[in-house]
Structure 1
Amino acid sequence: MDVHVQIEGRGDRSDRIYRQVRDVIRGGLLRHGERLPASRDLAAQLSVSRTTVTVAYERLTAEGYLVSRVGAGTFVAAPSARPSSTRARDARSAARPLPRWQSIHDPLWTEPLPIAYDFSMGSPDAALFPLESWRRLVAAELRGGIRRSAHYQDPAGLERLRVALARHLGVARSVDASADDIVITSGAQQAFDLIGRVLLEPGDVVAVEDPGYPPVRQLFESQGVRVAPVPVDDSGLRVDELPADARLVYVTPSHQFPLGSVLSLERRSALLEWASSHDAVVVEDDYDSEYRFADRPLDPLQSLDSEGRVVYVGTFSKTMLPALRLGFLVAPTSLIPALRSAKRLTDWHNDTVAQAAMARFVDTGGFARHVRQATKTYAARQRSIIEQAEALLGDTLRVVPSVAGLHLCLVPVDSGRAFDDDRVAADAAASGVAVQPLGRFGALMPRASGLILGFGAIAPEDVPDGLRLLSRAIARSAHEPSGG
């Protein structure tokens, strides 16, 4: 491995080489068994005599840091220590983030515990990923298209993918869009970031659902805007409670996150009328409605919008894998130039090989077939979890009806009785069961309480045992004092 050595200035050059190589070995940056540059090569690199390097290497060998093997080279002999750095890393460091970053943390990510029963939400079943098809598509692109896509590309994304996606969205979701209306993003989260960059000024007001999706709320807060939580009910967002000065409204109309309700047609019309009269933009997050298990879906807000006020956001994270980092937005023509520029300034464009593979997958019908097959699997899994949750948890929690997605929300049967969802989730985690407390997704007081059960990541055969352990955690919580 090449080693960076700085020998400028006065002093013994052999000693400088010795100390710098020793420090990177002590710090764990050079690991046991790694090969160092030959003394002749390092001497040429540093423009010093070979003897200068040899003296340093011999000293390191004598002290047990290196071992020399005749005919093979010089290798690290000392066991690696923990990686360390001489740079300042404590609270006295001079660099400081903006104050608003002090209060932003990730409520959806915690240090993972040993989990046997994973009811975490938002994760698709990796076993359903069309691995063989995807491998062939990527291999075909690498063989035939890598030279075409080796250079910087259109920030909006590969035209092949945008054309295929426009056709798919028109057929499957009634989204009214052409390829020119689409920008490919690194998941839905980047889409929200781009939207905020081109529409919002510090101090603007953004209305979000409550309970709702914390990363969106935190993203807008990080951009210096004021986030206003708006309550939801069984018909979705309470349009009558939107703040009059909101510049942007974020909503999940097809499958409210996390409660699962659908924004009624009456509310959809009211929201678009409100946006028109208040000169606001609506961000429609259609994050998982491809998995629909009952009822005919209502037309998206985007297709009902006659004034160009709706930005439609989607992702392949639920239908394929989050690791692909592929999402998209469909925006009014007036916003596309700014969104393309914002994308270019952010990361220029997504991985072109993955985009090309996805374009082929969508255009040949493979994606639609995959979604149909996965929907059948998830529908059966949802029915099973509902039945078993009602049997095992029904005395305490009821399942909120949901016709789509990869998670279910459970709320207390007795709304007047305290339910400590944080304690239940922590207790369940200690027993190897991952669930998420509903209270963490709300900002309005009093916060809604309950549990969120994802069914994308858990094997069906593990559900009964997982729910039994969860029921025991709930029972323990009910009998423990609130201060305990």
Structure 2
Amino acid sequence: MPTLPQPDGVRTIASRIVDAIRAQIANAVYPPGSRLPSSRALAADLGVSRATVTAAYEQLAAEGYLEVRQGARPQVPKGLKLDGLKLDGLSPNDLKPDGLKTERPVPPDTGAPPPRLSEFGRRLAGLPMQHLPGPDAPVIDFRYGELAASDFPTLTWKRAVDAAILCRPSRLRYGDPSGSPELRSALQAYLWRARGLRCDPDQIIVVNGSQQGLDLSVRLLLDPGEPAIIENPCYAAARDILTATGARLIPQMVDREGMRTERLPPARLAYVTPSHQFPLGSVMTISRRQDLLAWARACGATVIEDDYDGEYRFDVAPIPTLQTLDRARSVIYLGTVSKTLSPALRLGYLVVPRPLIQSFRAAKRLADRHTPALEQSALTELLASGAYERHVRRVRRRNGERRAALLAALRTRFGDGVRVDGAEAGLHVVAWLTRFPLEREAMIVSAARAAGVGVYPITPLYDPSALSGRPDSDRPDHPGLVIGYAGLDGREIAQGIERLGAALEILA
């Protein structure tokens, strides 16, 4: 039977025979029309089983390198063209047991130009890649966007998945690109209860996390070169999506009342995080929300409202969404379970104005047909049973305790040497180290990592012009660290801040 692909470093005898024979055919050791040894003869020569050689011959026949007929030795097709097939580094002895290669031969570099990328591809190639934690990950990592595994409702989720598996349909088929009707109905009810958001189920598009929702929105609403408003500082992945699309970015500074909305220039789109600005944590005031919606009506723009962690409010009830004030239907609401259940689930949703429903359905279908049905069914069960909201209340309480532990540790270790922003909501804070100049931010991050602590600078989230030092720029004066705490317990938080403080003492 044909050989199966093997993991890196695991190569079967049959697959190594295939590699060697393929290279010998390409190098005209066996030219077109020539015959190879019988499977019995080659097996005896190599000291392997005949079944192994038969499997190699069948794989080569499937690839078109051999013609195999019952009772006849395999033959290289007479019409096989060797141009472009030549591989260096193999000889007839490579079929001997000691000479069987464990790696596929690599064709020599011919100097041919690389495949041409589109403008979109070239813009993507220029974007920085996010580095995931590796073997040298910090002992205590304050990376924002991560949750504690112990908070995940494992048993509840398992029961929901088991129930979904048992409810097998008569046929396995592709689902609705917008998401299952049951999930969309459950989301409609939840959004009304939890966020005061009114919509119909057909306005909801279920997506693979908020990242896909944002990507679809930007692709559908913007052409290359068109202007888009973003917050400054801003969620880096959102800025990358807009950059890859070719948008002309117009950064707007953020203060304690959210993004500044006075004198907004005309644009096609605005991306905002009004309920908990990322990363500074401010809440957009009602007057600025009204200004933003008036601006959108005046210039025919669409506002993307990213409500990435709106469920987490520790002083008062969660802030109502921007979409609830929208009378002109110019807001696309973007939600996710990445901050309530798990970022690994890749479940999010859009609420789109009615005129955009068909375009979003078509875009989602072309992107990936639909979001995985099993996860949709499990989330539907959690929403319908009330288990999701009970879970949110539970983790909100736990994260409130983590938040209190972090604030106490920062206050104890740094005193008036730190100023904290964004602590009223969400799952991270910004700690401004007021005893250090901004220029020492990279040194601080490196010193913390050497002490086994992962902290993340705020400057990469700013538009570069804001860091230029111009007199008219809103340049931060001190280093800022975006500190996430939802993935740690109280002991780890206290220990991590103590290590950070000790590392900074050396730099002071």
The structural deviation recorded for 1:468 is: 1.4
**C-alpha distance after superposition, 1:415-442 (max 9, x if no partner):** 8x44522221122112211111011110
Aligned to 2:316: 295
**1:465 corresponds to 2:495:** yes
Contact 1:390 1:399 (8 Å CA) reproduced: no
Aligned to 1:152: 174
Aligned to 2:238: 216
Q: Which moved more, 1:275-284 or 1:136-145?
A: 136-145
The structural deviation recorded for 1:123 is: 0.8
Aligned to 1:21: none
Q: Look at both structures and tell me which one has the larger radius of gyration over its CA atoms.
A: 2
**C-alpha distance after superposition, 1:16-61 (max 9, x if no partner):** 99xxxxxxxxxxxxxxxxx9963345545632568968xxxx9778
> Unpaired runs of 5+ in structure 1?
18-34, 67-77, 479-484
The structural deviation recorded for 1:224 is: 1.2
**1:328 corresponds to 2:349:** yes
2-structure distance, mates of 1:230, 1:37:
69
2-structure distance, mates of 1:205, 1:111:
37
2-structure distance, mates of 1:36, 1:398:
74
Aligned to 1:400: 421
Aligned to 2:484: 454
**3-state SS, counterpart of residue 394 of structure 1:** helix
**3-state SS, counterpart of residue 155 of structure 1:** coil
**1:100 corresponds to 2:123:** yes
Letter in 2 for 1:121: Y
Q: Pick the aligned partner of 2:279 from 249, 253, 258.
A: 258
Letter in 2 for 1:470: L
Aligned to 1:429: 449
The structural deviation recorded for 1:235 is: 0.4
Identify the structure with bigger relative contact order (alpha carbons < 8 Å, sequence gap 6+).
1
Contact 2:303 2:332 (8 Å CA) reproduced: yes
Give percent identity, aligned residues only. 33
**C-alpha distance after superposition, 1:254-312 (max 9, x if no partner):** 11100111111111111111111121111100001112211233321101100100000
RMSD over aligned CA atoms reads 2.9
TM-score calculated relative to the size of structure 2: 0.80
> Unpaired runs of 5+ in structure 2?
5-14, 40-48, 62-67, 75-91, 468-474
Letter in 2 for 1:195: S
**1:63 corresponds to 2:83:** no
**3-state SS, counterpart of residue 206 of structure 2:** strand
Contact 1:314 1:327 (8 Å CA) reproduced: yes
**C-alpha distance after superposition, 1:343-382 (max 9, x if no partner):** 1111111101111111111111111111111111000010
TM-score calculated relative to the size of structure 1: 0.83
Q: Pick the aligned partner of 2:269 from 243, 248, 269.
A: 248
Taking structure 1 as reference, are residues 40 and 84 closer, same or farther at Cα in structure 2, changes over 3 Å only? closer
Aligned to 1:72: none
Aligned to 2:223: 201
The structural deviation recorded for 1:217 is: 0.6
Aligned to 2:9: none
Taking structure 1 as reference, are residues 44 and 207 closer, same or farther at Cα in structure 2, changes over 3 Å only? closer
Q: Which moved more, 1:356-365 or 1:399-408?
A: 399-408
1-structure distance, mates of 2:38, 2:280:
63
Q: Which moved more, 1:137-146 or 1:155-164?
A: 137-146
**1:120 corresponds to 2:143:** yes
Q: Pick the aligned partner of 1:130 from 149, 153, 161.
A: 153
2-structure distance, mates of 1:240, 1:357:
44
**3-state SS, counterpart of residue 228 of structure 2:** strand
Aligned to 2:207: 185
Q: Pick the aligned partner of 2:189 from 167, 172, 178.
A: 167
**1:378 corresponds to 2:418:** no
Letter in 2 for 1:154: D
